[in-house]
Amino acid sequence: MKVLVLTGMPGSGKSEAVKVAEEMGIPVHRMGDLVREMVKAKGFEVDRANMQAVADGERRKFGPDVWARRTVRLIAEAPLLVIDGTRSLEEVEVFRRELGDRLVVACVHASPRTRWGRIGRRGRPDDPRTFAELVERDQNELRWGLGAVIATADVMLVNEEGKGTLRAQMRRVLLDPMSPPAQMPGAPALDGTKKQG
Amino acid sequence: MKVLVLTGMPGSGKSEAVKVAEEMGIPVHRMGDLVREMVKAKGFEVDRANMQAVADGERRKFGPDVWARRTVRLIAEAPLLVIDGTRSLEEVEVFRRELGDRLVVACVHASPRTRWGRIGRRGRPDDPRTFAELVERDQNELRWGLGAVIATADVMLVNEEGKGTLRAQMRRVLLDPMSPPAQMPGAPALDGTKKQG
């Protein structure tokens, strides 16, 4: 069983990659799902402010990795599962500890300029309205260690050339997670011994 | 004039990308060059310890961005220049402030597993000897904000499939830096106005 944790900066095209998984019938868990359920269970309205308040309240009570730990508990014995929305190094470390080699971290990357182009077109009300605002928000996102997650991703999907190219890359990863590293001849095994190349 | 700052984790294949630039006759400035010159000028032997001592000494005296500021001063009026070895967000911010839109940040990415395969093969004496050591050193590298630089790179070169593929990507970037974003139809300009798509 493999668990593919999907990450990326806002506007990189992560949600299109998630769609590919869903169309292939692969279960997708969104990191916000558990928070959303708890907000509902408490009888609050599901909006940004309540989601944030409940998420942060639990983090203060049970530690910054609480949502990752609860997500791990949820993972069923499906042959492949996609987790969407991981944004901190701490969360990935929980997954790594619990899942070991079954974890594959995949990142969707696009340049700030390309992401700005997409965000400008989709026009969600809480999106940045200038390029400078996007750059500022990027630095906010990166404060929790998202940059380290991206820098050490197992798979990098480059999304500069339109949906078709991204979808093809994502399909390939889902059909054979971590295939490029595993196929590389002469790569030493993770314990330091050499494979036959 | 464009300045291409090249970054990437150890073992990602950055030095192969630099080689492509050199073969094309594009000037390459290595971030260590100025430190090396200073070590020599002081009459010390050029080794790891002296390089580190001189680099850190200057940072303490003149600020953590001192080497980036000195590099900017060096940049001649070549139509294209490659800067190799930037590893901190602070350095990139200096380049961004001084160069504005002339700066292109390019990252060479490979998965930790692939990088471990390469590092194992090259066998430099100060390379990590186990995969766990590589993971630990990665986190050290990332402490200075390298992850944020990678996450917001303008160009991502994925180096999983051998030198030929990386070299082709690098050549394309050097012939036309930032081409994918610029060609994207309908992208708004950086000031928020829409281009014709």
Domains and CATH numbers, chain A: 2-175 (3.40.50.300)
Cβ A158–B156 below 8 Å, yes or no? yes
The pLDDT of residue B86 is 83
Interface probe for A, chosen from B14, B105, B116, B150 (most Cβ of A below 10 Å), is B150
pTM of structure: 0.83
Minimum Cα–Cα distance from A89: chain B residue: B139
B40 vs A: CB within 8 A:
no
Window A:48-107, CB contacts with B under 8 Å: none
Touching check for A10 and chain B: CB below 8 Å? no
Q: What is the mean pLDDT of each run of 10 residues along chain B (197 residues)?
A: 91 94 93 92 92 92 90 80 86 90 94 91 80 90 89 95 93 78 38 40
Q: Percentage of residues in chain A with pLDDT exceeding 90? A: 51
Q: Using CB atoms and an 8 Å cut-off, which of residues 121-140 of chain A contact chain B? A: 121, 129-131, 135, 138-139
Closest CA to A6 of A67, A87, A71, A99: A87
DSSP type of residue B188: B
Sheet holding B80-84, edge to edge: B28-30, B80-84, B2-8, B103-109, B155-158
Residue B71 Cα, gap to closest chain A Cα (Å)? 24
Between chain A and chain B, the number of residue pairs with CB atoms below 8 A apart is 138
Taking the Cβ of residue B165 and every Cβ of chain A, the question of whether any pair is shorter than 8 Å is answered with no
Is the predicted pLDDT of residue A78 greater than 80, yes or no?
A: no
Distances (CA, A) of B107 to B9, B86, B118, B154: 9, 10, 17, 8
- A5–chain B Cβ distance below 8 A for any pair: no
Residue in A with minimal Cα distance to B128: A192
Of A109, A121, A148, the CB nearest to B156: A109
Residues in chain A with CB shorter than 8 Å from the CB of B130 are 191-192
> Whose CA is closest to A30, among A12, A51, A45, A49?
A51
pLDDT at B125: 77
Q: Exposure string (b/e) for A92-120, b if CB count within 10 Å is 16 or more?
A: bbbbbebbeeebbbbbbbbbbbbbbbbbb
Going by pLDDT thresholds of 50, 70 and 90, the confidence category of residue A182 is: very low
Taking an 8 Å cut-off on Cβ atoms, the answer to whether B111 and A180 are in contact is: yes
Does residue A185 surpass a pLDDT of 60?
no
A102 by DSSP, 3-state: which? helix
